Structure 1
Amino acid sequence: MTTLNKVFSLIILLTLTVSCGKDNDANFTLKGHIKGLKKGIVYLQKDGDSSIVDLDSMSITGQPEFTLHTNIEEPILLYLKLFKNDGEEHYIPFFADKGVTKINTTLNSFSYDSEITGSKHQELLEEYLGVMSKFNSQNLDIIEASFIAQQKNDSITLDSLDNLSNNIIKRKYAYTIQFAMNNKDNAIAPYLALYEAQHANPVYIDSIYNNLSLEVKNSLYGKKLGEVIARRKSSD
């Protein structure tokens, strides 16, 4: 073997060693399958302080399967992003915890066909989003009915539909608050308070926080919720 060949062999060996070491050190793995995808790039991402942060990526060239790795300290919302050079953003948010999460979806309906299996937090998030989807569907029906009533200049029906819409908003907040209260031992509780009920009565947000277990209060979203409440009270 020539000296040049030895150098190339050493470089390849070092590259493989570093790559394997990275995978072995990771405590979170995302495996998935995107039906119909022939070429593209998948990214594992998280929210940074001011922008989205890439944690890992993989080029898809023929095979629809992918595996991504990272390290997480605690349950956190991550994103699977697909870049397929079509000028659009394609994301699937999911709640990750240490271990393995699997996402199966399709190229044509990447965000909507996703089937996610993994953490208990993800199961709770899907349960919550399932109910929110029903509320949103009801609201779409009201919007359609309001459009028809507006064309007919039917002010009485419009007022009635407006009341129905406001009632749905109240029910969504009520469900979110109760769901968070019922899951005080899970990071989903402060997450919902932060991002789904931020405009609710502060009394209810305080109740969610005070109801959290000590472990959840010390979690990423628990600390963020505590900071939000502290800032609000300091400005009162």
Structure 2
Amino acid sequence: MKRFVFILSLLFVASCAKDNSNFTLKGSIKNLKKGTVYLQRIDDTVLVTIDSLKINGEPEFELHTNLEGPEVLYLALDKNGKESGIIPFFADFGTTEINTTLKNFYLDAKIKGSKQQEKLEEYNKMMDRFKDKNLELIKNNLEARRSQDSLLMDSSYKEYNNLLLRKYLFTINYAMNNKDSEIAPYLAVSEISDASVKYLDTINNALTPEIKSSKYGKALQKLIAERKKQ
């Protein structure tokens, strides 16, 4: 009887947590038979679990939490006691759907949800081009070192610095063009936190009042204050 009451109380708590949530993450992981999925967020630079679900037979899942505002969350998969991948996504009030596969958990992820997520995906597509170019420069630099070609090494080094500058300028410009979205301060603190304070200030000053008061808007202002102290 006591065991029955205990299980009933757990179900009641879980039901209350679901009813009190303002965000739902649902989806499926193709070919997953057994495992555990976790909904996580970063708290003081550490990933913490805010909901989880054991999967046994059915690949569908549904996770819940309560958001104070739009923020980047993470869907993690643990299979056989080993982490099988993690998918970052920009969550907002309502529902986000993630469908992926067990084989390529991160790469196959299709995310449908917030406007901020659409902006993040648009930004990431451009960053993929920078990554491809960076790999090309690394290859050129290795070939130059093997052949001891000092001119080619110098050229690849200059190209790398130019690429890095272009990446930073693109991020700044993208943030400025999306000053009414949480994506702007998020990119400032996560991608170019070591940029010149004047550029961070420029982004911050362009933000709308609503975005300035958001999670990442406050984080950007804190970052700027700390950088100015230095």
Shared fold by TM > 0.5?
A: yes
After superposition, give the CA deviation of every residue in 1:166-197 in whole Å (9 maximum; x if it has no partner). Answer: 11101100000000001111111111111101
Distance verdict in 2 for CA 1:144–1:86, change over 3 Å: farther
Q: 2 CA distance for matches of 1:8 and 1:147?
A: 65
Letter in 2 for 1:234: K
Note if 1:205 corresponds to 2:197: no
TM-score under structure 2 length normalisation: 0.94
Distance verdict in 2 for CA 1:147–1:91, change over 3 Å: same
Computing the radius of gyration from Cα coordinates, the structure with the larger value is 1
Report if aligned partners of 2:26, 2:60 keep a CA contact under 8 Å in 1: yes
SS of match in other structure, 2:151: helix
Offset of 1:15 from its aligned partner? 4.1
Report if aligned partners of 2:189, 2:220 keep a CA contact under 8 Å in 1: yes
Q: 1 CA distance for matches of 2:160 and 2:189?
A: 23
Give the corresponding residue for 1:232: 227
Please tell me the root mean square deviation across aligned C-alpha atoms, in Å: 1.6
SS of match in other structure, 1:82: strand
Give the corresponding residue for 1:175: 170
Note if 1:20 corresponds to 2:31: no
SS of match in other structure, 2:108: coil
The unaligned stretches of length 5 or more in structure 1 are none
Q: Percent identity?
A: 50
Query: How many residues end up aligned between the 2 structures?
Result: 230
Q: 2 CA distance for matches of 1:128 and 1:37?
A: 30
Give the corresponding residue for 2:149: 154
SS of match in other structure, 2:132: helix
Offset of 1:156 from its aligned partner? 1.1
Distance verdict in 2 for CA 1:88–1:70, change over 3 Å: closer
Letter in 2 for 1:222: G
TM-score under structure 1 length normalisation: 0.92
SS of match in other structure, 1:225: helix
SS of match in other structure, 1:90: strand
